[in-house]
Chains A and B, each alone.
Chain A
């Protein structure tokens, strides 16, 4: 899922300073699972904003609304009937959702309430961890299912480096060395021969270095 962090209330209040009528828009997908921008978090932020404004004797009108997704037109279109009643949209979706809402309603100011951070997994209730950077050229078959791009601080393809000590990374003593994990896993799978293979220099054009990416499946297109 896409994991995000909520922005501080102070930052949100600063962005909202000129506005009185706010549409607070949550998203039922990734940010709900990562407890950042789902219906509950929309409720908490709306309450915080109301308390904060009431404390200062300032008016605020907030409509709380959570869409199934903010990255598909079908759902974004659902706010069309009442969007005109609000001066600004404060979105709690990931960066993709926020942008797509802004693209759809071009005459509206759309503000982000969260910082989108990574593609990750739920380690336990309330704890999330990064697993993928969407580099566009997966090497997990070579590395025992552990990604050296996302999980090695240097994104080394042939690690570990000299900073690996007792299975930990020099960047943070609590951070596991991805290459130690890879070697241990390959050993357990009896696939150490894969570790002997040198992975060639990566073509980063499939990642962000080639500019924004687009995927097309002609067979699925309606026209």
Chain B
């Protein structure tokens, strides 16, 4: 399809979004990333039945944690798309990139850079 999506999006492959737990997402924020989104299969289409639904709930939970730590809940999102929707994948990558750009860089990264450039 030769579709383009922003180069700032780094992909972490997991066998199913159900593999992604709270701590995995938090650790990425600890390392200073600006945002995280999960690209799961369409609801009702999970090969493991409920993996994407579990991921959705975990993302909701991480949103509350991010709000609590002061990073804001908008830095993590859950998206659903099938493996045949390359167009949608690129669209979401652009959408999330714009959203995070509007929120600005993570304050964790900024401070880290200031202390240890």
Taking Cβ atoms with an 8 Å cutoff, the residues of A that contact B are 8-10, 40, 43-44, 47-48, 50-52, 54-57
Contacts and interface: CB of A to CB of B under 8 A. Distances in A.
Contact of A54 (B22, B26, B111): B111
A47 B111 contact: no
Given A51-B29, A51-B108, A55-B108, A44 B115 contact: no
Q: Give the interface size class of chain B.
A: 10 to 19
Contacts of A52: 69-70
B2 to A, nearest CB: 38
Nearest to B62: A44
A47 B71 contact: no
Interface string B27-48: 1011010000000000000000
B111 A57 contact: yes
B81 to A, nearest CB: 28
A54 B70 contact: no
Contacts of A9: 65, 68-69
B69 A51 contact: yes
B23 interface: yes
Given A9-B65, A48-B65, 9 more contacts: A40-B23, A44-B26, A44-B65, A47-B29, A51-B30, A54-B111, A54-B112, A55-B108, A56-B111
A48 B26 contact: yes
Nearest to B109: A54
Given A54-B112, A57-B114, A44 B23 contact: yes
Contacts of A51: 26, 29-30, 69, 71, 108
Main secondary structure of the interface of B (DSSP, over half): helix
Contacts of A50: 30
Closest 9 CB pairs of A and B: A47-B26, A57-B111, A55-B107, A9-B68, A54-B108, A52-B69, A43-B23, A51-B69, A48-B69
Contacts of B70: 52, 55
A10 B26 CA distance: 17
Given A40-B23, A51-B69, A57 B115 contact: yes
Contacts of A57: 111, 114-115
A140 B114 CA distance: 63
Contacts of B23: 40, 43-44, 47
Nearest to A47: B26
Nearest to B22: A44
Interface string B1-29: 00000000000000000000111001101
Contacts of A8: 68
Contacts of A10: 68
Interface centre among A40, A54, A57 (most CB of B within 10 A): A54
6 contacts: A47-B29, A47-B30, A51-B69, A54-B107, A55-B69, A57-B114
Contacts of A44: 22-23, 26, 65
Interface string B63-86: 001001111000000000000000
Contacts of A56: 111
A154 to B, nearest CB: 34
